[in-house]
Amino acid sequence: MEKFTVLDATAAALPTPDVDTDMIIRIERCVRTPRAEMGRWAFEMARYRADGSENPEFPLNRAPFRDARILVAAENFGCGSSREMAVWAIAGMGFRCVIAPSFGEIFYGNCFQNGVLAIRLPAPAVEALLETLGGATAPVRIKVDLPVQAVIGPDGTSHRFDIDPLRKKALLEGLDAIGMTLTREAEISAWQAADRARRPWVWP
């Protein structure tokens, strides 16, 4: 997994609440599109018009957001289906960090599996960022500093964020979750041996 330390990059705003993962990537794209091409189909239903051209009304099509690597979103972002392709699609668009007041929980976990930093900030802080970005006519930069756990807004305001220490370590060092758990093989085997005695009916 690609490491994440400090990201100083253009930010984009998507102020719609409850964006579900069906909206982020349609189910047919999940199974028919190679991962490397998934970014093209992110937000397909809102992003393109029926004739395949870009929908100018869709916020992420705005010129100042073109090269954005940070996505600022609204409440409950990524709710719904567990499809991890929603993260692949967003990462495929170039985003490495998503900031929102709250997330769908499965989506939130999937972000960290793919080196994408998902940050929960208090709603007023996110609203301020959405407002600044929404009114911007030129690209606006935000700095995300994982080691010190802070988001530094375009006006210099710093917002501290919480992150699970394990997830932080995995992002900073680019660790592989399976590899880390496999180092605990002896513990897993011992637990299973004890469980076979404790709950034999679980074991077919």
* Residue ranges binding other proteins (CB under 8 A): 18, 20, 22-23, 26-28, 30-32, 45, 75-76, 79-85, 87, 102-106, 109-110, 113-114, 164-166, 177-178, 181-182, 184, 187-188, 191-192, 195, 199-204
* Pick 61 or 114: Cβ nearer other proteins: 114
Report the SS3 class of residue 142: strand
- Give the span between the Cα atoms of 185 and 195, in whole angstroms: 15
Report in angstroms how near the CB of residue 82 gets to other proteins at its nearest: 4
* Pick 3 or 32: Cβ nearer other proteins: 32
Report in angstroms how near the CB of residue 17 gets to other proteins at its nearest: 8
- Give the span between the Cα atoms of 170 and 53, in whole angstroms: 39
* Pick 9 or 38: Cβ nearer other proteins: 38
Report in angstroms how near the CB of residue 169 gets to other proteins at its nearest: 10
User: If DSSP states are collapsed to H, E and C, what string results for 53-106?
Assistant: CECCCCHHHCHHHCCCCEEEECCCECECCCCCHHHHHHHHCCCCEEEECCECHH
Report in angstroms how near the CB of residue 10 gets to other proteins at its nearest: 27
* Pick 45 or 148: Cβ nearer other proteins: 45
What burial class does residue 98 get, using C-beta atoms within 10 Å of its C-beta: 0-12 exposed, 13-18 middle, 19+ buried? buried
* Pick 52 or 156: Cβ nearer other proteins: 52
The CB-side HSE value for 37 (13 A sphere, CA atoms) comes to: 6
Q: Which residues contact 69 (CB under 8 A, 6 or more apart)?
A: 7, 9, 10, 11, 94, 95, 96, 97
Report in angstroms how near the CB of residue 80 gets to other proteins at its nearest: 6
